[in-house]
Amino acid sequence: MTQPNTTPTPASPATASPASTSPASTSPVATVRAFLDALGRLDTDAALALLAEDVVYQNVSLPKATGKPAVAKQLAVLGRYATGFEAINHRIVGDGETVLTERTDIIEIRRVRMEFWVCGVFEVRDGKIAMWRDYFDWANFIASAAKGAGRALVGLARNLRR
């Protein structure tokens, strides 16, 4: 089992880029790190390239997206509206083809910045993510969105007074 990373760090790129590495030589943890890094760049094409054709993605409590085209639709929303994304891994652990992440996700939509806790489970098959399931707390997410919107409004009000 891979030792957990106990120091909070952004989803760092794998030691080699997925495009230059064969799937067989990329560890599941490196694949997940590369995937989260691609999302951090808002590079949905690079993120999709790391998914299996039959991938299943679910934010638990929301409907599943099955297959790469369905996941592409969901990621397109991130690419369309988000102006920033970061996944700060507090722990990332791999056991065979399974990778677990404990992280803080940060989503920015213009002036609104939301930070919320997420645990993710990834199954990597042949160097591609075949299953991606995120768990988060709705109360934490909604509070973060309200806090981010409040900060954005305060910032706008300050700019209006100038």
Which residues are catalytically annotated?
Answer: 105, 134
Q: Which residue has the tokens 């199954």?
A: 123
Q: Which runs of E-coded beta strand occur in 14-77?
A: 51-59, 65-66
b/e code 146-155 from CB counts within 10 Å (16+ = b): eebeeebeee
Distance, CA of 92 to CA of 97 (rounded, Å):
13
Q: Please give the sequence-ordered ranges of beta strands (E in DSSP) within 16-95, or none if there are none.
A: 51-59, 65-66, 84-95
What residues contact 63, with CB distance under 8 A and at least 6 apart? none
